[in-house]
Amino acid sequence: MTGVEGSRAAFDRLGTLGVEEEFFIVDEQGRPTSGIDDLVYGPEPPEPLSGRLDHELFQFTIETQTPTVDSVLAADEALREVRDALVDHAATQGYRVAGAGLHPVAVWRELDHARKARYRKQLDRIQYPQHRNTTAGLHVHVGVDDADRATWVANELRWHLAPMLALSVNSPFWNGFDTGLDSARSVVFETLPNTGVPTRFADFDEFRTFERRMVETGSIRDRGELWFDVRPHTAHGTVEVRAPDGQHDPDRVAAFVEFVHALVVDLAERHADGESGTTPRREYLDENKWRAVRHGRDAAFLTPDAADEMTLGEYVHQQADRLGVTGIRDLYEAEGGAARQRRLRDAGGLDQLCAGLFLPGHDQTVHPTADEGRV
């Protein structure tokens, strides 16, 4: 039962932040390439990445983590430092790094899986859904100072997940095909077990019992395999939001971090003041998520009581005014990720689209042997 005994004591600070991002390792044309052996197991990465760089399921996917920090400003600085270090580290080994929810031309049947024992066991247990899981997401952790409060906050966040996804949609293409969805990543990922919008938990003990029982019955190997769109993280003492697609632009990530932080802190304070919370039906939550997946920025969402609808624009302006944040308004008013990808494809085909997903902001000159790792 190692790694499953969540502790109430872990929930001891409100408002801390940590950001995890998943990326794609690509060659100079922006096409998938197997690079984790070089980037993760090769030369020691630069200091901002030391101990904060890992790979995901495929040999062309990689994950970074920021340190735990105490403010939105510090989180912004940390994620940019980590991104810059990753791109520099990749360039020294002959690679580039791309950001999106799915790589638009990655064909899972032609790509190699990681050899890490954890992933091999997942592939054996889950089979087809995991074999094709080429997804990349953005995960934001916000510290909460009480375990029951964190569980309540996670419950309340469930209704906000669909608008968050709609703001982040960045995966219209899969296997070179326009899926007609704005977040195909969500559909691919949600074929795995223990994903999507979770049910409501009465308190922390109920969530911890669920977590423990899933391990005891062999449904998961450890708590890290509960891949819900939001969850109280019983090791870190955080609420973790996992709904957004992966992003190539750090400004977009900064906007999500600012918003998620403000929303979690606001909800935590409302719980401390004795607010009772909402109980939306799971079916309405699933409907809202589907609307975000399909329509992205153009989606309208059922309100928590399903008595009315709210457009994404109405949601953004309401939350920005209420919480005093600016990033999500800027994010909403800018071109969306899915629309940008389709524009790039229409203008210059898949080559221009792939090149348009490189992480921005600095020289990505690569070593000429990058193609040696291409699959």
- Residue 363 scores a pLDDT above 80: no
Q: Which DSSP category does 282 fall into?
A: H
CB 140 within 8 A of CB 164: no
User: What pLDDT, on the 0 to 100 scale, is given for residue 5?
Assistant: 61
The strand pairing partners of 311, in sequence order, are 300
pLDDT reading at 3 higher than 60: no
Predicted confidence at residue 4, as pLDDT, reads 52
Mean pLDDT of 223-243: 96
d(CA 165, CA 152): 21
How far are the Cα atoms of 27, 93, 359, 362, 372 from residue 368, in angstroms, in the given order? 10, 10, 19, 18, 9
**Residue 51 pLDDT greater than 50, yes or no:** yes
Percent share of the chain, pLDDT over 90 = 90
Residue 370, number of CB atoms within 10 A of its CB: 22
Per-residue pLDDT at 43: 87
Q: What is the pLDDT of residue 374?
A: 36
Of 167, 179, 300, 316, nearest to 245 by C-alpha is 167
Where does the pLDDT of residue 360 fall: very low under 50, low under 70, confident under 90, or very high at 90 and above? confident
CB 58 within 8 A of CB 22: no
Q: What are the tens digits of pLDDT across the range 92-124?
A: 999 999 999 999 999 999 999 998 899 999 999
Mean pLDDT within 206-233: 95
CA distance 181 to 245: 13
Q: Looking at residue 51, what DSSP letter applies?
A: T
Predicted pLDDT of residue 195: 97
Task: Look up residue 359 and give its two tokens.
Answer: 């992480």
**β-pair type (195-196, 227-228):** parallel
Burial class (CB in 10 A: 0-12, 13-18, 19+), 16: buried
d(CA 169, CA 18): 21
The conformation of residue 12, written as its DSSP 8-state character, comes to -
Helix (H) or strand (E) holding 39: helix 36-39
What are the tens digits of pLDDT across the range 281-335? 999 999 999 999 999 999 999 999 999 999 999 999 999 999 999 999 999 999 9
Q: What is the mean pLDDT of the chain?
A: 93
pLDDT at 79 over 50: yes
> In angstroms, how far is CA 86 from the centroid of its own chain?
18
pLDDT band at 367 (very low <50, low <70, confident <90, very high): very low
Which pLDDT belongs to residue 46? 87
Query: Residue 322 belongs to what H/E stretch?
Result: helix 312-323
Q: Which two tokens stand for residue 281?
A: 């039906």
Closest by Cα among 327, 182, 183, 324 to 251: 327
Structure tokens at 297: 């920025």
Instruction: Compute the distance between CA of residue 281 and CA of residue 305 in angstroms, rounded to an integer.
Output: 8
* pLDDT range class, residue 370, cuts 50, 70, 90: very low
- Residue pair 360/248 in contact by the 8 Å Cβ criterion: yes
DSSP state of 218: T
Closest by CA to 189, choosing from 98, 113, 287, 101, is: 101
Taken as a whole, the chain contains a residue count of 375
pLDDT bin (cut points 50, 70, 90) of residue 2 is very low
At residue 340, the 3 state secondary structure works out as helix
Going by pLDDT thresholds of 50, 70 and 90, the confidence category of residue 128 is very high
Q: What percent of the chain has pLDDT over 70?
A: 95
- Residue 55: its pLDDT value, please? 86
Residue 294 makes CB contacts below 8 A (sequence gap 6+) with 180, 181, 182
* pLDDT tens per residue, range 144-168: 999 999 999 999 999 999 999 999 9
Residue 272 is predicted with a pLDDT of: 97
In CATH, what class is 8-360?
alpha beta
pLDDT at 368: 42
Roughly how many angstroms between the first and final C-alpha of the chain, as a whole number?
A: 38
| Half-sphere exposure of residue 25: CA atoms within 13 angstroms, side-chain side | 36
